[in-house]
Structure 1
Amino acid sequence: MKVLQVILIAVIFCAEFSISNGSAPVKYSSNFGVSGHGNDKTVPRAQRVISSSVAGSEHRCAVKCLKNDRCWQFCHVATSGLCVLQDASLVQKSGGPSKVDNCTYFTRKVCNSTYQLKSRQKLFAFPAFNGNEFVLDFAVQADQAAKIVLSTDGTGGGIKYHLVLGQTGNTRTTIRRCFSCYVLKLVSTPGVLSAHKMRRFWLRYDHGTFALGKHQQAAFFEWTDPTPQDIPMRFFGFVSYNTPQIWAAYHTCN
């Protein structure tokens, strides 16, 4: 499948906002790169929509994106005030890339945190995510078996899912409920990891449904748990195998 590349047609959109959340107003200063226009057929718009509303001005739309940690980009229609927020995951679209006519797309500036894991190390680096769903934008450098675990309480004892990229000598991606449990889903992915450079992916979890893809590409691994857990997943962690691994998580810069 041919991957369409987004060409930045403007470098930076910068604005200062004052947002009131019931306490004293909080000032936001953030950068957005303009990634394209809705009538430009070279701009892919397969990212998942998390909200669509009439927000009015471009600045108000940017504020809505800044207030939502899952918002990775937004598009705004100047004539109608339509504001569409999208996250870092992609969805399958029939008939080619989707777009909103006359909508200008702004990609949010993100920061990243990097972690050096020793062999067989487990790391829960982030606080609990809200609800029973999240989108993780991450990268990893490993020779094989880079594992993401989902936990109810941020401990090893609370782990309910093991998602492994590059298992069995970097040849397949699998998911199971525990380290010694049988494989629930297997996809052949030879060479999905690299021991020499970081490779970036996205992972979406939504109430027992998983979707995993390479950066700016559609999912290559999808699975829905037929018997989802009663207790919500609240934490994700990184786990290394027999050799050290380098992980990076991309997140908002608030």
Structure 2
Amino acid sequence: MEPYVGITGFTKPQEICAVLEVLPESPLRKLMVGVLASWKSLRGIPLKPRWQKQFPRPDSIPALFPADPRTIHLVHYSTEEGRERSVLADMFKIHELAGPNFHGFQLNVAWPQINQMDDYRVAMGWNYRIVLQLGQKAVEAVDGTTQGVADMLYHYAGNIDAILLDPSGGLGKPFDTARAREFLAAIADRGWDIGLGVAGGLGPETLHLVEPLLEEFPDLSIDAQGQLRTPEDDLDVDKTKLYHSRALEMFERHQERVTAV
């Protein structure tokens, strides 16, 4: 899967248009437009106040995915405890809702049922991307070890396109460079053909925490969410544009260093 610079939590078309205005015609990394959906939001069930401003109405999702070759459009889906059996049905429902510019999913589900991933690929093939989030809950479920994560990921590697290591879960907790390197290395050592990505506390002022990883993982994707919100939990468009511009500059600097060697 091609690497990207991700922004998650868009709820209005004008937010995306504002970012696209500062995006180069041929960016080094595409913009991943991340839109949130959940078991609750798909059923019109009120969300916790912490998340209400970050989840759009499901029927508004198509308007958030522009027909622009510089973008990748993923629905970031999460479920509720005890509702894990609904993941596959909800994925199919999102296909019905998300419109013609929908490219796939990020599954914010701790180790979804393997048979559901198999069934999804049988039904939909490989035209749509699946990014599996490895959040705190997923890591803790395998005793918090890098080997445990890599061993469990073995069962999913044949059905996913990429992983996103995100202990923060969209809450903007600080990024731990050393810990991220340990997990990424353990996964990369398995030799699977899957993309690698990181998130957690990333924003315009914290990208320096990711940059040291590029030497070892040059195709690393990144994603930001919690650090791009205002105190009222709206998307801070100015901060979002600054994050995206600085992220592209970071990847360009790395590319220049590689080319110069």
Superposed pair shares fold, TM > 0.5: no
- TM-score when scaled to structure 1? 0.30
Structure number with the higher helix fraction is 2
Structure number with the higher strand fraction is 1
- TM-score when scaled to structure 2? 0.29
